[in-house]
Amino acid sequence: MMPRVTVGICAKNAENTIGETIESILSQDYPADLTETIIVDGNSVDATLYVVRKLLSKARLQCREYSDGGKGLGYARQIVVNHAHGTYILFVDSDVVIRNDFIREQVEFLNAHPRVGVGLGRYMCKEGGGLLSSTWNLCLSAFPGFVGCAFIFRKEATTEAGGFDEQIKGAGEEVELIERIQSKGWESAVTESAKFYHNHQWTLRSFWSEHSWFGYSGYYLMCKNRHSFSPLPSLPPGQLIYGFRMASKFHRSTQRKLSFFILPLLVLRSIAWTFGFLKAAMRGYRYHLSNEFDS
């Protein structure tokens, strides 16, 4: 018997990208009567909810809508978990497009591998969208799986691990939960046949803001999991070496001039990340073992 799947979308000010995300979910070849969609809005001030409601109003999927009240991504993700009726919970970011067989491929993989608690999708490079977007897509395509964009959780494993850390206001909530799921004896794996594309809509300013946000969250993760999280690889010296290797590798394999932009982009990303990391440290955004939280 095919299991029920909950699709969770946590969005904030995503009017330019969420339409394609919703359309890719509505085009899935998985049975609509076994699929429900939960939207959690992060106090959007643009037309995000208008776009969502317009597209879902005629959908055959069961749809529900919630707000995280501005409490952040960890809280928003947990809202989906708390209200999910599915055996599996698929999270799709509001700037991601999943292939029409994505849900079916993920379900078939998890059904065949009962000890896998988390199935990651296969990141595919999407051409176009400007120099910044194209370069970043080329860079990320080197990874076999990309956490935080399109991933499916076995609800049993998520519940056993205690769910998402609701104190995480920024990014990294999925990485932190996956580590706890693995500590319970579950496995994570990349479903190579479950493919998705990232629909970046970036300017240099928004690129900086997003990666500064990642760095801000990185400080919290370091304070909570010092044994498993180190900021060193994300700092400029490490990214300079890594970027040179990546650029050389892609140029050798593709002969594309675009490869030369990988190095400066990774360095910019690293500087933004470091800025956010230091900002969080100065503001005291950290987790204490006593479970007291400062922000």
CB 82 within 8 A of CB 68: no
Percentage of residues in the chain having pLDDT higher than 70: 87
Reply yes or no on whether the pLDDT at 197 is more than 80: yes
| Structure tokens, 173 | 């909530």
Q: What number does CATH give the domain 5-201?
A: 3.90.550.10
Alpha-carbon span 147 to 274, nearest angstrom? 20
Mean of pLDDT values over 72-85: 95
Q: What is the pTM of this model?
A: 0.88
H/E element holding 125?
Answer: none
Closest CA to 285 of 211, 196, 221: 221
Q: Where are the domains of the chain?
A: 5-201, 205-294
User: Per-residue pLDDT tens for 231-247?
Assistant: 766 777 767 776 677 77
Q: What is the pLDDT of residue 254?
A: 67
Phi-psi region of 128 (alpha: psi -120 to 50; beta: other; left: phi over 0): left
Reply yes or no on whether the pLDDT at 23 is more than 60: yes
Higher pLDDT, 179 or 124: 179
Alpha-carbon span 199 to 273, nearest angstrom? 21
Find all residues with CB under 8 Å of 227, minimum gap 6, and list them: none
Strands (DSSP E) contained in 106-184 are 116-124, 150-154
**pLDDT, averaged across the chain:** 86
Reply yes or no on whether the pLDDT at 292 is more than 80: no
Q: How many CB atoms lie within 10 A of CB 96?
A: 26
The DSSP letter of residue 202 is -
Closest CA to 85 of 66, 99, 114, 64: 64
User: Per-residue pLDDT tens for 91-107?
Assistant: 999 999 999 999 999 99
Q: What is the pLDDT of residue 147?
A: 54
